[in-house]
Amino acid sequence: MITVVDYGMGNIRSVVKAVEKYGPEVQVSDDPGSIKKSRALVMPGDGAFGMAMENLRRLGWIEELKRFIAAGGYFLGICLGFQLLFSSSEEFGHSEGLDVVKGRVVRFSRPGLKVPHMGWNTVNLVREHRFMQGVPTGSHFYFIHSYYPELQEGDWALGEVDYGVKFNCIIGKGNCIATQFHPEKSHNVGLRIVENFVGTVCS
């Protein structure tokens, strides 16, 4: 079973449809107890970092998510679900994250830069990973976000993009991968990441 985590931050429907395209057993759940029956977790999301962490805390997901990832569970984070893996965010003050990946999430601050970063951008791969097989470096993906991560652990880096500042937009290690962009909205090249993830989980 692949579980799409519903923590009240939207962007669920399109992600579920993308996962269902490649995997027959998909459920949406706001209950952390569903982890016990899950082979993989997918955590999408749009919205504010602090509110997302509060929702995860209220629903009882935080320790369960950290335990699942640390134990080598299959995990795919998308957009806000990518940012929440980091140690902290400066969005609307300071908020603690899941601290799975060391680093902080900061706002784009270059003068004259249009924020949010919205649209298609070129992503260059910096390291191979099985969830990225068949995805050429230099591929275009769809972004929409106002904050980006400052990664402190280089062994998590998989891909980077330049939008006024160069930052890591794909991170991954072991069975965990996460993207700042929306693979489910990035046509065939984005769906290839979903297909690779689901195919590995279901193999």
Model pLDDT for residues 146-200, shown as the tens digit of each residue: 999 999 988 999 999 999 999 999 999 999 999 999 999 999 999 999 999 999 9
Does the annotation mark 79 as catalytic? yes
Tokens coding 130: 């099985």
Residue 165 has a pLDDT of 96
Tokens coding 176: 């965990």
- Distance in angstroms (rounded) separating the CA atoms of residues 18 and 15: 5
Report the first-to-last Cα separation within the chain, whole angstroms.
12
8 Å CB contact between 19 and 4: yes
Place of tokens 């470096």: 137
Tell me the three state secondary structure of residue 106.
strand
Catalytic residue among 64, 129, 182, 195: 182
Residue 123 has a pLDDT of 98
Residue 196 has a pLDDT of 97
Domains of the chain from N-terminus onward: 2-202 (3.40.50.880)
Residue 108 has a pLDDT of 96
Residue 10 has a pLDDT of 79
Q: What is the pTM of this model?
A: 0.96
8 Å CB contact between 65 and 41: yes
Place of tokens 């060391």: 102
Residue 159 has a pLDDT of 98
Residue 202 has a pLDDT of 84
Does the annotation mark 184 as catalytic? yes
Residue 139 has a pLDDT of 98
Residue 2 has a pLDDT of 96
DSSP E strands, 11-132: 26-29, 40-43, 74-78, 86-89, 95-96, 101-107, 117-125
Torsion of Cα atoms, 13 then 14 then 15 then 17, to 10°: 90
Catalytic residue among 64, 79, 117, 176: 79
Tokens coding 28: 């949406």
Given a cut of 70, the residues of the chain with pLDDT beneath it are none
Catalytic residue among 129, 145, 176, 184: 184
Report phi then psi at 129, rounded to 5.
-155, 145
Residue 24 has a pLDDT of 77
Distances (CA, A) of 47 to 11, 136, 145, 163: 9, 29, 9, 20
